[in-house]
């Protein structure tokens, strides 16, 4: 089955700096890669996603890159703010339509220091 590894497990950055979280996956059939932000005690919220036919996607301060050959994808947050502090999960999804299977990474706790 799919195995998703995520690094680092914790990350502290100064406000205004950039943060990068990296994930690797094992199943070459994975075709959808979402990133979720989870604040303490709350549900995961989709913040950005990328599909296998795209190499990079950007949404304001957040960007995601995908290297299918190397089977890794990364989340980049620029100009970090204290409200960016949360746990971030990457995920890799295989299948289509009603036969999706999503595997999550182990999470990265991001702390943005004011």
Partner 1 sequence: GAVVSQHPSWVICKSGTSVKIECRSLDFQATTMFWYRQFPKQSLMLMATSNEGSKATYEQGVEKDKFLINHASLTLSTLTVTSAHPEDSSFYICSAMTGTGGSYEQYFGPGTRLTVT
Q: Is 54 in the site for partner 1 (CB under 8 A)?
A: no
Among 19, 21, 44, 64, binds partner 1 (CB under 8 A): 44
Torsion of CA 98, 7, 66, 92, to 10 degrees: -10
Q: Is 34 in the site for partner 1 (CB under 8 A)?
A: yes
Using CB under 8 A, which residues numbered 84 to 113 contact partner 1? 89, 96-107
For residue 50, how many other CB atoms are within 10 A of its CB?
Answer: 19
Q: What is the closest distance, in whole angstroms, from the C-beta atom of residue 106 to partner 1 in the complex?
A: 5
């Amino acid at each position: 089955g799919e195995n998703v590894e995520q690094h680092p497990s914790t990350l502290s950055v100064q406000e205004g700096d950039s943060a990068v979280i990296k994930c690797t996956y094992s199943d070459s059939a994975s075709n959808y890669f979402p990133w979720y932000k989870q604040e303490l005690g709350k549900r995961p919220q989709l913040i950005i996603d990328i599909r296998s036919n795209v190499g990079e996607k950007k949404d304001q301060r957040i960007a995601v890159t995908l290297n299918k050959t190397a089977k890794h994808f990364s989340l980049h947050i620029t100009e970090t703010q204290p409200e960016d502090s949360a746990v971030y999960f990457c995920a890799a999804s295989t299948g289509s339509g009603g036969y999706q299977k999503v595997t999550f990474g182990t999470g990265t706790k991001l702390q943005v220091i004011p």
